[in-house]
Amino acid sequence: MKEILVESKGLAESYHAALLALHNQGEVITCNDWNQKQQEVSMTMVVQEPLAEPMISRLYIGGFRELQQYKMEVLDGILDFKIGEDTTWEYTYHDRMVNFPTSDGKAVNQVEFVINELKRNSDSRRAIINIRDNGIDPFNENPACLQSLQYLIRDGKLHCKVMMRSNDATKATFMNAFAFIMMQKKIATALGVPVGTYTHRANSFHCYEKDFPLLKQYVEGINAGDLGSITYEYEDFYQDMMEETIPEIEELVETLKQGI
């Protein structure tokens, strides 16, 4: 299984480098769970300055509304209420982050733990948020792809190390990384330190056969255009467009809660 390391200054650049590596070096293998083939590598994507502009890649499925909703799902838990109401919703990342079950039948807020642990000892290697729940995930048809997030303060900055067991390169990776970087920023702010590097490790970084044309389209765009033609500025442009969709997203959530 091919091991790939890509490293760039910003998120969009790193994501584009990962797509190129998957397309050019990935092995096509069977994917029996989904009755199709997939192209796959093991990917480690390092972003040296996660908040550097241009931050937003144009090469992902979705737009500013979808990215804002996903950010709110991960940071604010706007869809946590769906857990248990629908058998396909066994978990959300947010719920596992802030409401992880313990052996005594209680729950722990792992985000608060990380903040308190790094306040206790800024050199700590223990500031980890676990997402995988072995009481649920082995028996779930759709177990959590995200396994853990580790936070370390080094050189006065908060670094984040993410572990994914599986990551859909064309459909999920960019949105995942963006939201996890926003969580990194949130924790860094609570600690009063700058954001450091972001490392996104996917043991299976893949593209399903049905999406091979999409991956090819993305690669052609990367090879043909300069960075400005396939990216957006976040703070000076995309953020405002994302935040304008918040009332619409909140209305949708209320509708879902009412079962309409």
- Determine the pLDDT at residue 109: 98
What share of the chain in percent tops pLDDT 90? 85
What is the C-alpha separation between 163 and 27, in angstroms, rounded? 21
**What residues are paired with 152 via a beta bridge?**
159
Q: Nearest-CA neighbor of 17 among 246, 189, 222, 243?
A: 222
Q: Does position 87 have pLDDT exceeding 80, yes or no?
A: no
Cβ atoms of 202 and 162 within 8 Å: the answer is no
**What is the number of structural domains in the chain?**
1
Mind listing the pLDDT tens digit for each residue in 154-202?
999 999 999 999 999 999 999 999 999 999 999 999 999 999 999 999 9
Mind listing the pLDDT tens digit for each residue in 103-124?
888 999 999 999 999 999 999 9
Cβ atoms of 228 and 236 within 8 Å: the answer is no
Q: What is the DSSP letter of 160?
A: E
- 86 pLDDT band (50/70/90 cuts)? low
Q: Nearest-CA neighbor of 238 among 74, 15, 12?
A: 12
Q: C-alpha dihedral over 237, 238, 239, 244, to 10 degrees?
A: 100
What is the C-alpha separation between 67 and 73, in angstroms, rounded? 10
Q: Which domain holds residue 24?
A: 3-257
What is the C-alpha separation between 42 and 108, in angstroms, rounded? 31
- Determine the pLDDT at residue 142: 86
CATH number of the domain where residue 205 is located = 3.30.572.10
Question: Does pTM top 0.85 for this prediction?
Answer: yes
